[in-house]
Structure 1
Amino acid sequence: MSIVTVQLGQCGNQIGYEVFNAICNDFHSTHGLCSKKENESYQEACKERFFSEEKTGVPVARAVLVDMEPKVISQTLSMAARSGHWKYDHQSHFCQKQGSGNNWANGYSVHGPRYRDVIMNLVQKEAEKCDRLSGFFTVMSMAGGTGSGMGAFVTQCLRDAFPTSFILNQVIWPYGTGEVIVQNYNSVLTLSHLYQSSDALLVHENDAIHKICAQLMNIKKISFRDVNQVIAHQLGSVFQPTYSSEGASQYSRNPLGDLMESLVPHPEFKMLGLRNIPQMSENSLAYSTFTWPGLIKHLRQMLIANAKMEEGIDWQVRPPLPGHPVPPKASPNKALHFNTSIANLVVLRGKDVQSIDLGGFRDPALYTSWLNPQEAFTIWKTPRAFNKYEKSASLVSNSQFLLKLMDNIVGKAWNMFASKAYVHQYTKFGIEEEDFLDCFTTLEQVISSYASL
């Protein structure tokens, strides 16, 4: 089954490009470290999932590109075409000459309705090219205007037009220090609207990815492209083909459906986080060896201690022992000590994946009490290595990982709202104070639900 990617705004288009590029590089990789037959079935599954075939033989990304300014889209189209390995359909994009001015309301209330039919026609055409549609993967930022406002609007349109298809929103959480003065408003409005129409939100924090670039990838002058490539690598490590059940003879055909089934057992809990190890510069990789027990031990502790990367993990954090009193529930504004999970998915790629002990992830102490740990933990695996790493492991987690950040961003937005700062910029585009209050209520409920796990 195929996934249609919808790239929204500058950030969404730049990351979308890097995702397809990472997938294509992996597709052509000579480091697969598996049998020829295995590699061929992996490539076939990958192609069906992300690309359609043209007569010229160049794979065409199953994607729709949307931005209110033409510059990034034209760069993205030409970079893909120049690669020679893949390209975008030159008719599957939409752009205008004016941006949304970092104003969520402008993207959502003005540009969205004005251009809805054109954009949804492009999406419909892309969906019709799929023999079987798994669903939609939207890529967007929360801080700006087009990605966030248009993104929320387009997601609602997707839900209306494709009520039975899965929708996964990949969302970029803004830098804490702030790129945009109204980013907290934009973020609150985006999250609350996506919560109504999306099946799940897969969140990447700019600050965390920036740290990975600096400390693990050893990049001295970090550009947005460096950050986007790390995000793309992490996404590829999950969405490239895998066997989703023990003893399966063919690659999973419904990646979004499998993901939702594994990780979103209740519509109140839709926030997914992604961690991937190892991640390092190519220079370091040449001198590194990895063992599965070591990788799994680190990945489990990253989950427990809510660490975003393997460097600087707090090894003191432990799950509560059976028979001992459970520590009091976390209040969202206190530093979380132990990160309680609803569900976890571990994706393993590379040599000897059949022999790995993952019992530590089945520990009932990791999970909320209302789910059976056997159902809360899922493994996907493939002997095909990913992106130059002989062994790699990814963790997609529905847990309390975002609790503190969410509480923080809602608190900052509320403080601005209470003093009516910049509210007029939204009301002039039709977003009233009641709309803000509804959004705050929605997110307070989400925060409360996760805090009570």
Structure 2
Amino acid sequence: MSIVTVQLGQCGNQVGLEFFEVISNDANDRQRKVYSECTNDRFFSETSNGDLVARAVLIDMEPKVISQSVAKAVKSGKWRYGEHSYFSQKQGSGNNWANGYCVHGPRHEELVVDLVRKEVERCDRLAGIIAMMSVAGGTGSGVGTYATQCLRDAYPNSFILNHLTWPYGTGEVIVQNYNSVLTLSHLYQLSDAILVHENDTVHKICAKLMNIKHISFSDINKVIAHQLGSVLQPALTGDSNGVYNKNPLAELMSGLVCHPEYKLLSLCNIPQVSSSSMVYSVFTWSGLLKHLRQMHISNTKMEEGIDWQVRAPCLQSGGLERTKSHRRKGFNTSLANLLILRGKDVYSAEIGGFQDPSLYTSWLPAVEAFSIWKTPVTFNKYEKSATLVSNSQALLQPLDYMVGKAWNMFASRLRGGPWRRWTKGRCCLPPPLHLGR
């Protein structure tokens, strides 16, 4: 089954380019014929000349990034984008969500939906759609939200996964928090799942783990693409009987999004080292999984700086009892987790630590909350790698921060604007949003 990728805005198109680079390089090995064929069928169509064409639609309100992406894909010599699979205009959305959602989106709806329809028709069977976008700017957030709405109407029974890149906390765009809140509020009603990467986290990975001195957006996009590929490349599920999973989106969502109100997913991947250090690095499954589990329960985004003081709460009779001390130490409770293991000796890995009922909510049995995919095939030159996709409390802190910043900006403008209302000499504002679980 095939996946159609819709790349929206500057960030979505740049991340999408790096993603296809990662999976094409990973699958370009004649010794892994079945694995490569599964990858190619999932993400590429093949022309009569044998060229691999990405199952992707590129959308932006400015032509520069799309032109660069198309040229770089051709230059790779391994794959390319379709000749008529992209759409751009000569003016952007001005970092304005409303401009993208209310103006550009409706104006170009027919063209965008038609491009996606043509790409879907090239698939023998559609597994689902992945929309890649940022939430900070105007096109990715505004047009991306409107495009997702159109895709939901056009394909009501297909899975839609939105991959979102969250902006730096210090700010790239002055209205980025407005754009982010508006995007999330709409996508939560439209998408089947929302997978999030935070720029701040990926930047730290580049600096501290990859040892990159002068970090560019290209470096950040490569890390994001590597982590995405570690999830979406072929793997064996528990009941696959030795056959690679046909529909990774369906299996991912059925395992992780078990409640319609909880669909924000975070991702941790281990190890991540610079190419120069990889030659001298030796990893064991016990060491990797020990670190990954502690990263998860302590809500640490990377190996460096793990808080080893955080412990899972004790299992009491009749359910879980989490003390105040655990909450103070930042224990990250999960609704569901998906563990993906790739590489040598994968079947010897001990995964019992992730099946611990104390990691999960009391209203969902651990056996239902935990899923695992495995493959002995190495990924992206790593002899062993582990990825954890989690539906947990990990994103609450950055989400609360984003909503708080948006509220403070709104409140400050309201106090000084013509819409203020006074009661007994004081300005009365509605209470701030609370999006905690």
TM value normalised by structure 2: 0.94
Q: 2:426 corresponds to which residue?
A: none
- Quick one: percent identity of the two aligned structures? 63
Q: Does 1:148 align with 2:156?
A: no
* Aligned counterparts of 2:305 and 2:339: Cα–Cα separation in 1: 21
The alpha-carbon deviation at position 27 of structure 1 amounts to: 0.8
Picking from 244, 262, 266, the partner of 1:251 is 244
User: Residues 213 and 29 (structure 1 numbering): CA distance in 2 closer, same or farther, change over 3 Å?
Assistant: farther
Is this contact kept in 1: 2:400–2:436, CA < 8 A?
Answer: no
* Aligned counterparts of 2:231 and 2:63: Cα–Cα separation in 1: 31
Is this contact kept in 2: 1:59–1:85, CA < 8 A?
Answer: yes
Q: Does 1:164 align with 2:157?
A: yes
User: Residues 390 and 105 (structure 1 numbering): CA distance in 2 closer, same or farther, change over 3 Å?
Assistant: same
Q: 2:322 corresponds to which residue?
A: 326
Is this contact kept in 2: 1:140–1:148, CA < 8 A?
Answer: yes
* Aligned counterparts of 1:55 and 1:307: Cα–Cα separation in 2: 48
Larger mean Cα displacement after TM superposition, 14-23 or 412-421: 412-421
Cα deviation digits, residues 264-284 of structure 1 (max 9, x gap): 000100010011110010110
Picking from 421, 441, 448, the partner of 2:436 is 448
What are the residue-to-residue correspondences of 1:251-400 with 2, within 5 Å? 251-323=244-316, 325-328=321-324, 337-400=330-393
Structure 1: 5+ residue stretches without partners: 31-35, 425-436
Q: 2:425 corresponds to which residue?
A: none
* Aligned counterparts of 1:423 and 1:22: Cα–Cα separation in 2: 50
The alpha-carbon deviation at position 448 of structure 1 amounts to: 2.9
- Specify the SS of the correspondent of 1:419: helix
- Specify the SS of the correspondent of 2:315: coil
The alpha-carbon deviation at position 423 of structure 1 amounts to: 12
Matched letter for residue 326 of structure 1: R
Q: Does 1:21 align with 2:9?
A: no
Cα deviation digits, residues 257-306 of structure 1 (max 9, x gap): 00001100001000100111100101100001000000010110011000
* Aligned counterparts of 2:76 and 2:37: Cα–Cα separation in 1: 20
Matched letter for residue 386 of structure 1: F
- Specify the SS of the correspondent of 1:257: helix
* Aligned counterparts of 2:205 and 2:156: Cα–Cα separation in 1: 37
* Aligned counterparts of 1:203 and 1:9: Cα–Cα separation in 2: 16
Is this contact kept in 2: 1:244–1:381, CA < 8 A?
Answer: yes
Picking from 89, 92, 105, the partner of 2:85 is 92
Q: Does 1:221 align with 2:214?
A: yes
The count of residues paired between Structure 1 and Structure 2 equals 422
* Aligned counterparts of 1:366 and 1:329: Cα–Cα separation in 2: 16
Q: Does 1:116 align with 2:113?
A: no
Q: 2:121 corresponds to which residue?
A: 128
- Specify the SS of the correspondent of 1:273: strand
Matched letter for residue 264 of structure 2: M
Q: 1:414 corresponds to which residue?
A: 407
Is this contact kept in 2: 1:182–1:422, CA < 8 A?
Answer: no
Q: Does 1:48 align with 2:41?
A: yes
* Aligned counterparts of 2:329 and 2:27: Cα–Cα separation in 1: 39
* Aligned counterparts of 1:69 and 1:183: Cα–Cα separation in 2: 19
Cα deviation digits, residues 4-53 of structure 1 (max 9, x gap): 000000000000000000000101147xxxxx4xx211111101110000
Cα deviation digits, residues 380-417 of structure 1 (max 9, x gap): 01010001100000000000001111111101101111
Is this contact kept in 2: 1:173–1:206, CA < 8 A?
Answer: yes
Is this contact kept in 2: 1:107–1:150, CA < 8 A?
Answer: yes
Is this contact kept in 2: 1:417–1:423, CA < 8 A?
Answer: no
Q: Does 1:74 align with 2:67?
A: yes
Picking from 182, 185, 197, the partner of 2:178 is 185
- Specify the SS of the correspondent of 2:142: helix
- Specify the SS of the correspondent of 1:131: coil
Is this contact kept in 2: 1:29–1:387, CA < 8 A?
Answer: no
Work out which structure has the larger RCO, using CA pairs closer than 8 Å and 6 or more positions apart in sequence. Answer: 1
TM value normalised by structure 1: 0.90
Cα deviation digits, residues 185-224 of structure 1 (max 9, x gap): 0000011111010001100000000000000000000000
Structure 2: 5+ residue stretches without partners: 418-429
Coordinate RMSD, CA, aligned:
1.9
The alpha-carbon deviation at position 420 of structure 1 amounts to: 2.9
The alpha-carbon deviation at position 247 of structure 1 amounts to: 6.1
The alpha-carbon deviation at position 95 of structure 1 amounts to: 0.2
Is this contact kept in 2: 1:275–1:308, CA < 8 A?
Answer: yes
Is this contact kept in 2: 1:275–1:394, CA < 8 A?
Answer: yes
